[in-house]
Structure 1
Amino acid sequence: MPVTDTGLRNAAPPAVVARGLTKVYGKGDAAVHALRGIDVGFATGAFTAIMGPSGSGKSTLMHCLAGLDTVTGGSVHIGDVELTGLNDRQLTRLRRERIGFVFQAFNLLPTLTAEQNILLPLEIAGRQVDPDLFDRVVDTVGLRERLHHRPTELSGGQQQRVAVARALISKPQVIFADEPTGNLDSRSGTEVLSFLRTSVRELGQTIVMVTHDPVAASYADRVVFLRDGLLVDDLTAPTPQTVLDTLLKLEG
């Protein structure tokens, strides 16, 4: 079925667009078709979740959208830039300047404080800190009292909030989040998801999140579902129950 941005609250041009996207691993009889011609757009200033059964291609899709993996066919655009036409150096620059990442592992540097970890992308890029944005990001993720603590002095939920703030501070066009609550207990996971949603509502951020958790997906504005490398369903204003029902239908 065709999957579009219909029903989203934001009419701006999509932040990310994939057209005819295919990904094949291996050759001949050993070839695995992870993505089989996907057409999808992700709205600017919206929170979208990608879901599907194990092996459906959801992580492969996110990695191709973010320029972390090459595509076999089709195209990916981040804003007005086509990723699939860039060389390695250009891709590295685009990821640094236009994309934020939040992974299941927090990937914080243990010798740096929370504040230093948050500001690290700007330091690497040689960019100045916007103090107003820094204050808004820190308050959005609730880290004001923990800025001078190192990762070992923070809970898992606080460490992931540092990772979210680090992704937000460079004002990326889109943040890709890969199972961001996978290493967290339910309370910490709820906090992180709330902060992600708040960053969309209050900072106008665009977020694309891969998750297997119907509750996590319910924080999004929209959920797209994959099965066997194809987009097969699209849900707006999701609830945990509607997400679970859709997943059960796909796995049935």
Structure 2
Amino acid sequence: MASSSNELLPAWKSELISLCLGSGILTFGSFTLKSKRVSPYFVNCGLFSRARLIRAISQAYALTLDAHAKTTPEWSFDVLFGPAYKGIPLAATTAEKLAGVDEQKWGDMGYSFNRKEVKDHGEGGLMVGESMKGKKVVIIDDVITAGTAIREAIDIIKAQGGELVGIVVAIDRQEKMPSASEKEGKGDDGLPRGSAIGEVKRETGVPVLAVLTLTDLIQAMQQMGRGEEVKQMEEYYAKYKPTD
């Protein structure tokens, strides 16, 4: 549930959110989303484009994956798959950061990404990097909106002979999927619906992890004394909270 809390965030989450604020990655105001909803906050993951920023987000992905592996001993993976284009630098930099978190466990972690168009010369083919054949694969991407891009990535993994075992994204907005009427600009119909992440979890049966959630953002803003932002995000969540 997205709500303010007196519970302290892990230091790395607080530091990441502060960095996002200072770099304009996390901003507050009035933002019309693709769904036509008007959000009081926006996270522009495309701005993780400078050295210290990509270092911070890739470290956060690595800590998220490592933490899940520690709390779920039966869960493991061999390859990070970064769907073109945004997933490509995330896969490469997160694989390196995983090795730094635990060299013995993650030092041989592979990464792979796809081309948008099949290369017909040189080494050729659709894929670049580690083979996924017969291996356990985690998809790494920035967000899940309607889930279309994730489903395309899953199809690629299956075609390459890999086994999907997890998905990790930067942000979980913790809101229900938009209705057809919303996409047409006619407003929310008020009917119960799950979130995009919840829908992907049900379809795939694998864990879907998020580096940051709306709950995290609310807690961070509360701890910074930014009550107006907290109020706006809580009101937005109350209006669009998912049923899952």
Report the TM range for the smaller structure's normalisation: 0.3 to 0.5
Larger RCO of the pair (alpha carbons < 8 Å, separation 6+)? 1
**TM-score, normalized by length of structure 2?**
0.32
